[in-house]
Structure 1
Amino acid sequence: MADLSIDFCGIKSPNPFWLASAPPTDKAYNVVRAFDAGWGGVVWKTLGEDPPAVNVSSRYSAHYGKNREVIGFNNIELITDRSLEINLREITAVKQAWPDRAMIVSLMLPCEEAPWAAILPLVEATGADGIELNFGCPHGMPERGMGAAVGQVPDYVRMVTAWCKKHTRLPVIVKLTPNITDVRAPARAALAGGADAVSLINTINSITHLDLDNMVAFPAVGNASTHGGYCGAAVKPIALNMVAEIARDPATAGLPISGIGGIGNWRDAAEFIALGAGSVQVCTAAMLHGFRIVEEMKDGLARWMDGKGYANIAAFSRKAVPNTTDWKYLDMNFQTIAHIDQDKCIACGKCFVACEDTSHQAIGRSVLENGARRYEVLRDACVGCNLCEITCPVDTCITMVPQETGKPTMNWTQDPRNPHAETRPLLTVVGAAAAVETA
């Protein structure tokens, strides 16, 4: 069986699955249940100065799919509303009882060195394995000059990170906000401040839906609401992109990353790891389905790794990073054409409608002698956009088939149709993040 254990910037864990800093890690009772279920580590819910934060009611809302499936989850909850003393005491006890599990403590304090200098020795005394700096919370705390208010300013990220490295020997993980134009800037700042790793993404500013009778958004607090932090399956594509951006940025290429955002099964975790994550953090899926989901996550990941011949996490970590590049370096001469498997086709017509109305009119419709409908791809019109494949309700009924064009690999920087094409010959490095000029 594959070895799932990891060493993340010096923090050892029996598997890469950690619970993120959130309600599931708010107290010892929850964390012990999580460790009993098999989680490899936790990031304890964010601690701050006393007196503790005060939360409102209600706190959560959701964006639903069919059959009330929760696609996205929104919250306006703040950091811990329990005293610092109680949290530190419980962290100490849990770490002593579970020495093999990763215990990271999330922290959020004002942008002044003194509070950080005061709290860090207290956290270190608990036996915790590391700290995570919460520079991402998008609601409530930014209004007080913390959370995303720090994470959106690279100079603040660097400054506070440097303070923490000065006042603790523990590994420092900087949690980044996605509510920013370019996530690479704060990642570079964290590294410049001495960060041992970054974690991302924190939640995204959001309003999920409204009560149209009372004209107030959810979650409603009396007759008003506010934007909250969006998480869950819906944010996974955004999180994967931001993780990849940091992993392939030459300035931060070697920086360890803890991936967060919409992870709900082993496949999600494998994708994050392949794009640069060394550990993965889960919150929403655990809140919706309970701690036992980690059993399937571990088993599924191990079985997939065995099938692929990956002996450990490091064997496929960052393996997809070299194949993730800028648009301008993609092969302009590569071509695929859709193919419909008539044995699987249920003649629903969804592909035809989508292509006819909104794409390239590349699917033909005919009626057979028995009255049945038949749909076929018009090869000369198909541009390989994938829309038909996406709209088809039958798995693998429509596939995209690569075509032999007889043309050499050519990216946009070399394309004669590009008015700014390079005048000198370029060599495209297959699977690399850039094209390299020949001498």
Structure 2
Amino acid sequence: MSILLYKDISIKEDVAGCLLCNDAPCSKACPYSVEPDSIIRSLIFENKLGAVNKLPNPMPCETCDTKPCKEACLKGKINEPIQIDRIMKVISTESKTKEEVVDLSIDFCGIHCENPFFLSSSVVGSNYEMVAKAFEMGWAGVAFKTIGMFVPKEVSPRFTSLSKANGPFVGFKNIEQISDHTLEENIEFLKRLKKDYPSKIIVASIMGQNEDEWTKLAELMTEAGADIIECNFSCPHMTAKGVGSDVGQNPEIVDLYTKATRLGTNLPILAKMTPNIGNMTIPAIAAMEAGATGIAAINTIKSIMNVNLSTFSSEPNVEGKTSVGGYSGKAVKPIALRFIHEMKNCKELKNAPISGMGGIETWRDAAEFLALGCENLQITTAVMQYGYRIIEDLMDGMKLYLSLQGYKNISQIVGQALPNIVPADKLERDSICYPRFDRDKCLGCGRCYLSCYDGGHQAIKINEKTKKPVLIVNKCVGCHLCVTVCPVQAVLPGKRVNTKQ
């Protein structure tokens, strides 16, 4: 009974420990050619419908007594193997979803893209072999790692992460600079990619140190076969003066360098914006007025993280020292969405094409960026964490979502969420949505009581006999802290009551 009652929670916990192996031994061990690694990966990336669709029919796992997949699971070398049999049993109770024909192609800056998923300008797209592999797997384009006239000298190490409760990292810091290949090498990479993959979109990210360099780089990227030029006005940790986020914070310099770039190309230009600023619309407007075609946002956020309390050094630890670096990953998604909303809500920018990035891991994350007005999506940190293979669930999950919602083309959801984000003074304030307790699901753990009493409005008490929560209606303000903290989803939004006198 409980495994089905709590199946969504059970599945999340069971798959959370998966090591997401390359060439997974669990799938290699299955005598029935079931691929549990692919199914579990879909569950991890919020593509449950896709996971169910991958189940064979009939289901051999139900009659398999030896469980060779669990025997082969590398997690068993740490503590316990992933409960593959239990995962399969739970999701096999779900019905398969028929996928209607859905078009993921979308036009961006006047260029047709087979889907909106691009690699963003970083190490994940920094040479021919890497990008070619990504293209073969289904990525529609790449913003190639930023190219300059100089090759920076890098440090080691240059990456670190922020984790919680031994789960996958939620935040990532890097102090890496632009491409460590020469200008000539990068131009050759772009030429080969465009020759071998003519239908894929090449965005050449550039960074100059003066007007002449911006113009020259734009000319060279155009000659190399790029489809779009991206001006990197936003890297937060460049060592040279007058580059990176120093540029993006100054609308006058943004104007100057955008005009210089436009002198060197007739291609669409994206101005990549820095989030290390209070109002992104100011430099974004300057870029558009100076000749940019669209905006890319957001780049990484200036950060310091993981101070060692024994040595007082911070990470990445370079001989006991570090520097302010760029913060990315799932944790920055709300910040990225906020900046994108502000730009789409600005009259001077509302029609500007936006390439959105910042914390996209799953198809659901991607759909949120599209719903807030983006027409293109760029991804780095999730690829660094999980590999190019995430494109499978990005596309499959997106298609299944669109199909179930009755959409035929991905462009139909672009901007759909914008009307529902309003100024605070426009929100309904004459009613309360009270919480509702699911008595069957409630375990009696008291988490809702603790949070409400210590961090809310003391509107919950515990029934001494059942050990389950009871709402004190005249104290409840409908804040939904209890809904948020319940570990088993037993507290839900309930009835909305008008409070206007």
TM over 0.5: yes
Give the distance between the partners of 1:271 and 1:157, measured in 2 at CA: 28
Gaps (5+ residues) in structure 2?
1-100
Structure having the higher strand fraction is 1
Partner of 1:400: 493
Amino acid at match of 2:464: V
Structure having the higher helix fraction is 2
Deviations 1:371-408 (A, max 9, x none): x402022222111111111110013x111224241759
Aligned to 1:268, the other structure's residue is in SS state helix
Residue 274 (str. 1) matches residue 374 (str. 2): no
What are the equivalent positions in structure 2 for 1:130-279 lying under 5 Å apart? 130-141=228-239, 143-279=240-376
Shift of 1:249: 1.3
Aligned to 1:211, the other structure's residue is in SS state coil
Shift of 1:335: 2.2
Partner of 1:26: 126
Query: Which shows bigger deviation, 67-76 or 156-165?
Result: 156-165
Give the distance between the partners of 2:359 and 2:332, measured in 1 at CA: 6
Give the distance between the partners of 1:258 and 1:243, measured in 2 at CA: 9
Give the distance between the partners of 2:128 and 2:462, measured in 1 at CA: 62
Partner of 2:213: 115
After TM superposition, the score normalised by the length of structure 2 is: 0.78
Aligned to 1:259, the other structure's residue is in SS state strand
Partner of 2:482: 388
Shift of 1:136: 0.9
Residue 53 (str. 1) matches residue 152 (str. 2): yes
Gaps (5+ residues) in structure 1?
409-439
Give the distance between the partners of 1:102 and 1:402, measured in 2 at CA: 49
Aligned to 1:7, the other structure's residue is in SS state strand
Shift of 1:304: 0.2
Shift of 1:68: 4.2
User: For the Cα contact (< 8 Å) 1:275–1:318, is it kept in 2?
Assistant: yes
Give the distance between the partners of 1:27 and 1:67, measured in 2 at CA: 33
User: For the Cα contact (< 8 Å) 1:12–1:100, is it kept in 2?
Assistant: no
Deviations 1:173-222 (A, max 9, x none): 01100000111111111111121110111000111202222221000111
Aligned to 2:498, the other structure's residue is in SS state coil
Give the distance between the partners of 1:386 and 1:100, measured in 2 at CA: 48
Report sequence identity in percent. Answer: 39
Give the distance between the partners of 2:305 and 2:111, measured in 1 at CA: 36
Give the distance between the partners of 2:495 and 2:324, measured in 1 at CA: 45
- Name which of 366, 378, 383 aligns with 2:472: 378
Partner of 1:92: 191
Give the distance between the partners of 1:381 and 1:318, measured in 2 at CA: 38
Give the distance between the partners of 2:487 and 2:411, measured in 1 at CA: 36
Give the distance between the partners of 1:144 and 1:68, measured in 2 at CA: 38
Give the distance between the partners of 2:216 and 2:166, measured in 1 at CA: 50
Amino acid at match of 1:308: Q
Shift of 1:166: 2.5
Partner of 2:69: none
When the two chains are superposed, the root-mean-square deviation of aligned CA atoms in Å is: 1.3
Give the distance between the partners of 1:3 and 1:32, measured in 2 at CA: 23
User: For the Cα contact (< 8 Å) 1:203–1:231, is it kept in 2?
Assistant: yes
Give the distance between the partners of 2:165 and 2:183, measured in 1 at CA: 42
Partner of 1:433: none
User: For the Cα contact (< 8 Å) 1:4–1:313, is it kept in 2?
Assistant: yes
Query: Which shows bigger deviation, 263-272 or 101-110?
Result: 101-110
CA distance change for structure 1 residues 227 and 332 in 2, over 3 Å: closer, same or farther? Answer: same
Give the distance between the partners of 2:458 and 2:283, measured in 1 at CA: 45
User: For the Cα contact (< 8 Å) 1:73–1:230, is it kept in 2?
Assistant: yes
Amino acid at match of 1:301: M
User: For the Cα contact (< 8 Å) 1:258–1:279, is it kept in 2?
Assistant: yes
Amino acid at match of 1:283: T
Give the distance between the partners of 1:162 and 1:399, measured in 2 at CA: 53
Give the distance between the partners of 2:136 and 2:495, measured in 1 at CA: 48
- Name which of 194, 202, 207 aligns with 1:103: 202
Give the distance between the partners of 2:305 and 2:320, measured in 1 at CA: 16
Query: Which shows bigger deviation, 212-221 or 76-85?
Result: 212-221
Partner of 1:318: 415
Shift of 1:228: 0.6
User: For the Cα contact (< 8 Å) 2:177–2:237, is it kept in 1?
Assistant: yes
Partner of 2:226: 128
Aligned to 2:340, the other structure's residue is in SS state helix
Amino acid at match of 1:97: D
Shift of 1:135: 0.9
Deviations 1:8-33 (A, max 9, x none): 01222111111100101111111011
After TM superposition, the score normalised by the length of structure 1 is: 0.89
Partner of 1:289: 386
Give the distance between the partners of 1:234 and 1:393, measured in 2 at CA: 20
